[in-house]
Structure 1
Amino acid sequence: MKSKIFLLITGCFAVLLTSCLGDSDYDSYYEVDKNCQITEFSLSSDSVSGLSDVKFTIDQLNGRIMNLDSMPFGTEIEKVICTVKYGSYVTKLEVIQEATGDTIDWNAEDSLDFSKPVKFITSSYDGMTKRVYVAQVNVHQVVPDSMVWRQYITNILPTKFVDQKVISFNDGSADYYYMYVQPAANTAYKLYRSKQTDAKSWEELPLTGLPASGVLLSQITSYNNLYYVVTKEGSLYSSADAVNWQLVEGTPKVKSLLGYIDESTNQPAVLSAIVEEENGLVFAAMNAEGQWETGEMVPAHFPVEGFSSASIYLMYTSRVMVVGGKSSDGQLQNASWATMNALDWAEQTDSYGDYFTKRQGTMMAYYDNMFYLIGGIDESGKPQKDIYRSSDYGVTWNYVDTLVVLPSSYQARGFASMLVDKDNYLMIFGGKSTINGQDLNDIWKGRINRLGFERQ
C-alpha cells in the first residue's frame, strides 16, 4: 500500500515538473520573440525636408511599419538614412529592398531605397526565431490641393426642360436629391428624385399644390423644417415634404427669397426676403410663427433676381450672403452682400470693384472653409466657367487659375444648382448656356484631392 502511495506521489510530481518545464520553454520562446521586435523606426535625409519629423507606426501584430499621415506629393525617398532600434536578442538584420531587388545583411548604417516597400528580417542569436516587418513610406500620389472634375452623368432626365432646381432632402430613411423642372414655358412643373449615393437613377414623384407657371424655382429655401418658394406674382408657398405644396395665407407681396437664418444665442430663426410695399422694396423677415417684420429699404443696386445665395453659420452667428444678380432696374451686379438679421444688409464688396465681372446665375457654395463662386452669364449674355474663392466671407474674391479649374470639356453655364455632398464633392446640376435657352441635362462633380484622403 505504501509503495502505491509513493508511486502516485512520484507520478504527480513528475507531471507537475513536466508542466513547469513546458511553461518555462514557452516563456523563454516568448521572451526571445519579443526581444526580436523592432521597437523604433525613423528616417532622415538632408535632401528631403521634414522627413525626420515623420512619425512611423509599428504594427507588431501584422509586421507593418508606415506613416499614417502621407508625405507631400512628389516627395523623393530613393536614398535615405534609416534608424531602427530592436530587441536584445537580435544578432542579424536582413533587408530586402523591393525597389532594387537587393537582399543584404544590413549594418544599420547604409542608406536604403524606400521608393518601394522595404522588408526587414530580424533573427535571434540561435537563428531559430525571426520577425519580419514590411516598411513603407506613404506619399500622396496626387496634388492634395488640386481638384479633379468629371462629367458624372449625361441625360439626367429623359425629357428636356427650361428651368430646374435641385435640393437635398432626407425622408427619414435616406438622403435624396430632389430635382424640380419645368419641361417648357407655361407648362406644369415636375419633380424627380434620386438617392444621393446614386444620382443616376431618377424617379418621378407626384408633385402637387404649385401653380402651373411663374414659380421662381431658383429661390426654393428650407427654413424651420419647411420648404418655401415664391412666384413672380409675389405669392408664397410652403411644403413639409417638398412634394405637396400649399399657398401661405396672409403674407405680404414677396419679391424675392434671400435665404434663412438659423437660431443662435443672440439670433432668432427667420426667413429672409424682399417684399413690396407702397413706398418700394424693403427687406423683411418672417419668424417661426409666420409673423413678418420689415427693415431697411432695398438699395437700388441690390440684386432682386438671378443672384446666388448661401446661408451659413460662422463665428457663432448665422448669416445669409448673396452675390451677383440683377437689381430692380435690370442692371447686373458683381457685389456680395450679407446680413445677420435679414432686416439690414451690408455690402461686403465695392459694387464698382473688379473681383469678377457683373453677372447673373452664378453658382455659390461654402466649400473647404471658404466660399466658391462659379460661372454665371455676363452682361453680353456670354456664359462663364471661371472660379473665384473668398476666405473672408465675401469681402475679397480671388480668381483661381490653377489646380481647381474646370476642364475644357465642361460647357460654360449659369443658373445651375450646386451642392456639396457628404463625401466633399461639389455637385453641379444642369444650368443654362443662354438666358432663355433649355437647361443642360448633365451633372458634374469635383473634389479637392485632400478632402478625399483617408487615414490608413
Structure 2
Amino acid sequence: MKRNLFPFTLLLAGVMMLASCLNDEDDSIKITYYGDAALTSFSVGTLTRTYLNNKGEALKSTVDGTDSTTTVDGSKYKFTIDQLKREIYNADSLPAGTAVSKVVCSLASKNSGVVYVKRMASDTLDYFTGNDSIDFKDKRVFRVYSTDGQSYRDYNVEIRVHKELADSFEWQREDVSNILPDLGKYKGVKIFAMGENVFAMVNDGATSFVMRKGINDNSRWNTVTPNVNTVFSPDAYKNVATLDGWIYMLTNGIMFKSKDGAEWQNVNVQGVENLKQLVGASATKLYAITQNGMASSKDGEVWTDVALDGDKNLLPTGSISFCTMPSTTNKGVDRLVMVGNSAKADTAAVVWGKIEDYSEEQDSYSWSLYEGNYKKELPNMAGLSVVRYDGRLYAIGGAGLGGSTAQPYAQLYFSKDQGLTWHKSTLFTLPADMPKDVDPNTLSMTTDKYNNVWIISASTAQVWKMRINRLGWKTEQTAFSE
C-alpha cells in the first residue's frame, strides 16, 4: 500500500490526547491501531430523476400533465466493491434521467479507517462526512487510511446511470433484394431462429427455399443450397419446427431434418400419412396437427396422439404460430400456446393452450381451446404471426377475417396471460416504413435467443430487426474475492 503521514498529523495528535486521558482514568484500557485500510460497504440515498422522451431529451411535463420529475430510492441499487481492482460501482445501473450531481452516500471502512474524497479538479483531499452531497457525474476517488496512519487505499467510485431508456428501441432495416429480386413472385415466408442463425423459408410459387444469416455478424443474408435432390414443396415453409438444434421440415409426405438448412437427412416417420402440418416444438417434443387432432414426437419418428379439450374442427388451419412460455411458478413446466386462423372461426383468432410438465413420463395434459372474453380476444387476421418476447406474447397480422374489422399491420397486440386475453400495445410499434398493403402470407415475425425481434417481408425484399434496450444490457460480475 502507499504511505502518507501528512493528512494524519492532527488526527494522531487527537487520538494520542484521548488515549492519554483514558490512561489517566483507567490504565487497563488499551487502544489498538491497525495497519490495513479498506472500504467495506457503499450505498446512496434518494435521488432525483427527470423523465425523458424516446430521444433521451428531458420532458417538461408528462402526458397526463403531472410533474416530469420523480425520485429514485438509491438504497435498492446494490454497489459492488472489487477489492482487487479497487473499484466501487452499481452493477444494476440507475434509470436514465437520474441526476447524480448531488449525491448523499453512506459507507463503512475496515477498523473505522478515516475516509477522504479527492476533488475533481485537483489532488486535494476533503474529509468525508455522510451529510455532504458529492458530484458523481464522473468517477470519484475515495481514499481510506488505516488507523495507524501508515497506509491508505484509493478506490475509483462510479455511479452508473443508463444512457438509454429501458423500453426504447429502434428498428433497423436490411435490403435482401439480392436474394429476393423478383418482387411479386413470392407467395409465402416463415422466419425462425435457431442457435446463432436466423433462417427464412420462402415460397417462390414453385418450391420453397432457405435463406440464412448469422444473428450477430455483419454479413448479408445468403441462399442455402440443400444437399438433397428432393424439391421442397411450395407449402413446405408452413411445415417447419426446431428441436434440439435440428430444423425439422415436412414436405411432400417426407420428413427431413437439418442442422444448418443445407445438409438434410431423411427422418423415418411411422405413419407419416397421418401428419397434416408440423406446427412447432416445446423444449422436448415436436407437435403436429394430424388427421385425428394433435400428436407429439420426441425424435420426429414415433408420434403419439395428444388429447384435445375442444372441437378438433377448431384447430388452426392457417397462419399457425407456436410459442413456449416458461411457467413463472413451477420449475420444469411450460405453457404451450398455438394461435392461428380457422375457417370456422369468427372475428377472433383461435387460441389453444397446453401445460407441458417435463418431469412426467406420460403426458397427462391435453390441448385446450381458449374461450376468451369477446372484448379482449385476438382479432382474426390474415397472415397472423405471434412470438414470445419479454415474457409476453406479441401478434401482428393483415386485414381482418371472419367479420373482424382489424386493419392490416396497424397494431401490435400483446398478451400477458399466455394468450387468454389480448390488448393493443402502446409500448411497441411496427417499423414506420413497413408496407401494409402486402400479401400477409409473405410477412413473418420471429425472435432469437439474444432478444432480437425479426420481421421479413418477402413481397418487398426487406428485413427489420430490433431489440428493446434493457434486454441488451449486460449482467456484470458482482462477487469478488481477493
The TM-score normalised by the length of structure 1 is 0.71
2:364 aligned with 1:348: no
CA distance in 2, matches of 1:87, 1:260: 55
Higher relative contact order (CA 8 A, sep 6+): 2
Alpha-carbon displacement from aligned partner over 1:63-93 (angstroms, at most 9, x marks no partner): 3222222222322232232334446796783
1:32-43 matches, cutoff 5 A: 35-43=36-44
CA distance in 2, matches of 1:424, 1:107: 43
Of structures 1 and 2, the larger Rg is shown by 1
Q: Which sits farther off after the overlay, 388-397 or 298-307?
A: 298-307
Q: Match of 1:440?
A: 460
1:373-392 matches, cutoff 5 A: 373-379=395-401, 382-392=407-417
* Cα distance, 1:307–1:131 mapped onto 2, change above 3 Å: same
2:354 aligned with 1:339: yes
CA distance in 2, matches of 1:53, 1:190: 52
| Residue among 88, 92, 109 paired with 1:69 | 92
Contact kept? 1:259, 1:272, Cα under 8 Å: yes
Q: Which sits farther off after the overlay, 307-316 or 123-132?
A: 123-132
Instruction: Give 1:427's aligned amino acid.
Output: W
Q: Match of 1:239?
A: 257
| Residue among 430, 433, 454 paired with 1:427 | 454
Cα deviation, residue 386, structure 1: 2.2
Instruction: Give 1:193's aligned amino acid.
Output: R
SS in 2 for 1:217: helix
Q: How many residue pairs are counted as aligned between the two chains?
A: 398
* Cα distance, 1:211–1:294 mapped onto 2, change above 3 Å: farther
Cα deviation, residue 344, structure 1: 5.3
2:228 aligned with 1:218: no
CA distance in 2, matches of 1:336, 1:203: 34
| Residue among 119, 125, 130 paired with 2:141 | 119
* Cα distance, 1:158–1:50 mapped onto 2, change above 3 Å: same
Q: Could you tell me which runs of 5 or more consecutive residues in structure 2 were left unpaired when the two chains were aligned.
A: 6-31, 49-70, 356-362, 477-482
Instruction: Give 2:225's aligned amino acid.
Output: P
CA distance in 2, matches of 1:250, 1:123: 78
CA distance in 2, matches of 1:86, 1:224: 51
Q: Match of 2:215?
A: 196
Q: Match of 2:430?
A: 406
Q: Match of 1:321?
A: 337
Cα deviation, residue 148, structure 1: 1.0
Contact kept? 2:307, 2:367, Cα under 8 Å: no
CA distance in 2, matches of 1:324, 1:181: 19
Cα deviation, residue 124, structure 1: 7.8
Instruction: Give 2:381's aligned amino acid.
Output: R
Q: Could you tell me which runs of 5 or more consecutive residues in structure 1 were left unpaired when the two chains were aligned.
A: 1-25, 264-268, 276-281, 432-437
Q: Match of 2:23?
A: none
CA distance in 1, matches of 2:146, 2:463: 61
Percent of matched pairs sharing the same residue: 23
CA distance in 2, matches of 1:206, 1:342: 41
Q: Match of 2:381?
A: 359
Cα deviation, residue 118, structure 1: 2.4
SS in 2 for 1:58: strand
Contact kept? 2:113, 2:144, Cα under 8 Å: yes
Q: Match of 1:134?
A: 156
Instruction: Give 1:43's aligned amino acid.
Output: V
CA distance in 2, matches of 1:218, 1:443: 19
The TM-score normalised by the length of structure 2 is 0.68
Cα deviation, residue 111, structure 1: 2.0
* Cα distance, 1:90–1:294 mapped onto 2, change above 3 Å: closer
Instruction: Give 1:80's aligned amino acid.
Output: V
Contact kept? 2:380, 2:400, Cα under 8 Å: yes
| Residue among 91, 95, 104 paired with 1:81 | 104
Alpha-carbon displacement from aligned partner over 1:149-179 (angstroms, at most 9, x marks no partner): 3224222643335132334456xxxx33333
Alpha-carbon displacement from aligned partner over 1:271-301 (angstroms, at most 9, x marks no partner): 32132xxxxxx30325454356486685544
Cα deviation, residue 323, structure 1: 1.7
